[in-house]
Amino acid sequence: MKKHVLLYKKLSPVLMDRLQQQAEVTLIDELNAEGLQALRQALPRAQGLLGASLRLDAELLDLAPQLQAVASVSVGVDNYDIDYLTRRGILLSNTPDVLTETTADTGFALILATARRVVELANMVRAGQWQRTIGPLHFGSDVHGKTLGIIGMGRIGEALAQRGHCGFGMPVLYHSTRPKPAVEQRFNARYCSLEQLLQEADFVCLTLPLTDQTQGLIGRRELALMRPESIFINISRGKVVDEAALIEALQERRIRGAGLDVFEREPLAPDSRLLQLPQVVATPHMGSATHETREAMARCAVDNLLAALAGKRPPNLVNAQAWTGQPG
Ligand code: DGY
């Protein structure tokens, strides 16, 4: 008998077809109030879940006694209560690798956009305010040759380092849980303390996951270590940063600008003080949002889910302790 999958993210026809060949699928079109109600009603039958951007906590998952696997269409797994899933033996999988390069592209887009004031100046042109050759008031700062600081040297951090080092001749500093000699060799990167990175880098880029240890990692004290000409970039998770402290640092010109793809609360409120600051480039959590990458992520999630439901170890298992089959 086919397993029952609850899908809360639309798939391409090819992937939907593939999933439906092997599972009975209930699709929740949108996670609005109506969709959430339908999700709650379908959870009691669900053996597999596939989707993203939904906080799946114990309260919700208690409604799904038959659940065997959750396939997240994301690399970040901060939306899940992993301990709870593991205790229940539910396999959680994610989609690493396929989004690495695209997310690093987004990081670099934010670096360039903030340093060269791309959005601000493009808006000026669009508003018909380009009336003469621009002068120092509108100049930005160089990117090439400046020091790139990366906090969290995982896959995305490495891809960012590659862009900075190979494409823009940037010296690379990094801070992560441990030094990575291979990265140092490939990108001539230097491992340093968080404090040193904040003091020395021209671009401070966050690429680390949100965990109990990283929540609030960048607060008032850390921002105070940055220089007035340095720029803050966040493509990880909003909660890694104390957003109020960041706004203060920007308002008081203690740092030059910020390129932010993630926020404490998403979607960002239209009246957020961040949006009143021209030196902020804010994007809508679009790190991996290209047609190619989102399709690859969905394919990866379908692979993970079908493997799990067939009793096989999903290729991207997050909670290895929940796996009771053959060692992977
Ligand atoms: C991810 O995959 O974690 C991206 O940030 C989208 O949520």
Q: 10-residue block means of pLDDT along the chain (328 residues)?
A: 96 98 97 96 98 93 97 97 96 98 98 98 98 97 98 98 98 97 98 98 98 97 98 98 98 98 98 98 98 98 98 98 85
Q: Which two tokens stand for residue 139?
A: 């100049």
Kindly give the distance from the C-alpha atom of residue 297 to the centroid of ligand 1, in angstroms, as a whole number. Answer: 10
pLDDT of residue 48: 98
pLDDT of residue 210: 97
Nearest C-alpha to atom 6 of ligand 1 is from which residue?
74
Q: Is the CB of 99 under 6 A from ligand 1?
A: yes
Residue 76 CA, closest ligand 1 atom number? 3
3-96+291-322: CATH number: 3.40.50.720
Environment class of 239 (CB within 10 Å of its CB; exposed 0-12, middle 13-18, buried 19+): middle
Q: Which residues of 30-64 are buried (b: 16+ CB within 10 A; e: fewer)?
A: ebeeeeeebbeebbebbbbbbbbebebeeebbeeb
Q: What is the distance between the alpha carbons of residues 24 and 85, in angstroms, rounded to a whole number?
A: 22
Nearest C-alpha to atom 2 of ligand 1 is from which residue?
74
pLDDT of residue 325: 86
Q: Is the CB of 234 under 6 A from ligand 1?
A: no
* Intrachain domains 3-96+291-322 and 100-282 with the same fold: yes
**Is 67:49 a contact under the CB 8 Å cutoff?**
yes
pLDDT of residue 328: 60
pLDDT of residue 104: 98
Distance, C-alpha 60 to centroid of its chain? 23
Q: Where are the domains of the chain?
A: 3-96+291-322, 100-282
Q: Is the CB of 94 under 6 A from ligand 1?
A: no
Active site residue 165: no
Q: What is the distance between the alpha carbons of residues 316 and 304, in angstroms, rounded to a whole number?
A: 7
Active site residue 237: yes
Q: Is the CB of 73 under 6 A from ligand 1?
A: no
Q: Is the CB of 236 under 6 A from ligand 1?
A: no
Active site residue 132: no
Catalytic one of 237, 256, 294, 299: 237
Q: How many CB atoms lie within 10 A of CB 14?
A: 12
pTM of the model: 0.96
Q: What is the distance between the alpha carbons of residues 21 and 3, in angstroms, rounded to a whole number?
A: 11
Kindly give the distance from the C-alpha atom of residue 132 to the centroid of ligand 1, in angstroms, as a whole number. Answer: 42
Q: Collect all residues with Cβ–Cβ distance below 8 Å to 323 and sequence separation of at least 6.
A: 91, 313, 317
100-282: CATH number: 3.40.50.720
Q: Is the CB of 102 under 6 A from ligand 1?
A: no
Kindly give the distance from the C-alpha atom of residue 70 to the centroid of ligand 1, in angstroms, as a whole number. Answer: 15
